[in-house]
Amino acid sequence: MAVTKFMTSFALVITLFLALVSLGCSPPPMKVTEAPVPEPLPLVEENAAPEMVVEEAGVMVGSQAHTIEIKNDGFNPSTLTINAGDTVSFVNKNTVSHWPASAVHPTHTAYPGSDVKKCSTSEKEIIFDACAPLKAEESWSFTFMEKGSWKYHDHLNPRFTGTIIVE
Amino acid sequence: MKNNPPQLVSFFLRVGLAVVFLYAAISSFLNPLSWIGFFPSWLRALIPDTILLLLFSSYEILLSLWLFSSWRIVYAALFSIATLLSIIVTNLGALDIIFRDVAILFMAVALAVLHWEKKK
């Protein structure tokens, strides 16, 4: 009986320790501020011929813009094939908030360099993570430089998933 | 306990289940946005998110303490089964995330079976 009590106490201690570790490892609370609503980018079909020639330094020539709409049934289109250097805009066309981010929920680390913990740092602009809920009609854009097949999801509704294939 | 394997098995199953529920409860307090999405939308339409999280987390903490206590464990196991089953069924679209819950569900089933004979 004494052994049982000891083991139970030991398990409680371990659990409390895990809880404290998770407290230390959890990202700080994120302040959600009103983001300015950018002009939605025009919907560009994948086979569209014209390419944007960007003259500013540091932006790839020939990159295209794509749009994924978030509706009450999820991401549309849920699978999108783009070229490296293309930009994808996620536009919330639903009445509830959505938060597009790289897989895996809730750490968002599948896309190279991405991590939800970076949302409260200066690196938030270069990770595949909106870092905050998008309200109705709000949008967020990300430029995909890494080639591969990148799964993503809605952090506020992990059942909504999608894939962006970067060639 | 050393000479009683079933008791040892019960202990490990109870601790494993209790840790899962306790971690989920604590984490949902610390990072509510990471957990609220697992609740079905019809439930979120009925109950505000903060209250829903508070209620469910409190229930998970009570369930974990019950599992630790070893009192009437067959019923704690049945509650665990019902909880995990409801999480799995309402999140089949997120199987990439909840596949571990399937394994944990069978832990709860094993615990219930282990204690069912004792109940009789």
Quote ipTM for the complex: 0.77
| Cβ neighbours of B89 in A, within 8 Å | none
The Cα–Cα gap between B120 and B115 comes to: 9
Q: What is the pTM of this model?
A: 0.72
**Which residues lie closer than 8 Å to B29 by C-beta, 6 or more apart?**
B53, B57
Tally A–B CB contacts below 8 A: 73
Rounded to a whole number of angstroms, the distance from the CA of A40 to the nearest CA of chain B is 26
pLDDT band of A62, cuts 50, 70, 90: confident
Higher-scoring residue by pLDDT: A58, B26: B26
Least confident of A27-41, A57-71, A149-163, B4-18: A27-41
Nearest to A22 among B11, B27, B94 (CB): B27
**Which residues lie closer than 8 Å to A124 by C-beta, 6 or more apart?**
A118, A131
Looking up tokens 């309402």, which residue turns up? B90
**Cα dihedral sign, A23-A28-A31-A36:** negative
Nearest to A7 among B11, B22, B91 (CB): B11
| Cβ neighbours of B70 in A, within 8 Å | 4, 8
The Cα–Cα gap between A139 and A133 comes to: 10
Structure tokens at A104: 């895996």
Rounded to a whole number of angstroms, the distance from the CA of A99 to the nearest CA of chain B is 10
**Which residues lie closer than 8 Å to A64 by C-beta, 6 or more apart?**
A44, A48, A51, A52, A82, A83, A86, A87
- Say yes or no for a CB contact (<8 Å) between A11 and B19: yes
Least confident of A46-55, A130-139, B30-39: A46-55
How many C-beta atoms surround the C-beta of residue A158 within 10 A? 23
- Say yes or no for a CB contact (<8 Å) between A156 and B37: yes
Q: Is B100 on the interface with A (CB under 8 A)?
A: no
Least confident of A7-11, A96-100, A154-158: A7-11
Q: What is chain B's pLDDT, residue by residue, as a tens digit (120 residues)?
A: 556 888 899 999 999 999 999 999 999 999 999 999 999 989 999 999 999 999 999 999 999 999 999 899 999 999 999 999 999 999 998 888 899 999 999 999 999 999 997 665
The Cα–Cα gap between A37 and A51 comes to: 25
Nearest residue in chain B measured CA to CA from A14: B19
Report the pLDDT value the prediction gives residue A135, as an integer from 0 to 100: 96
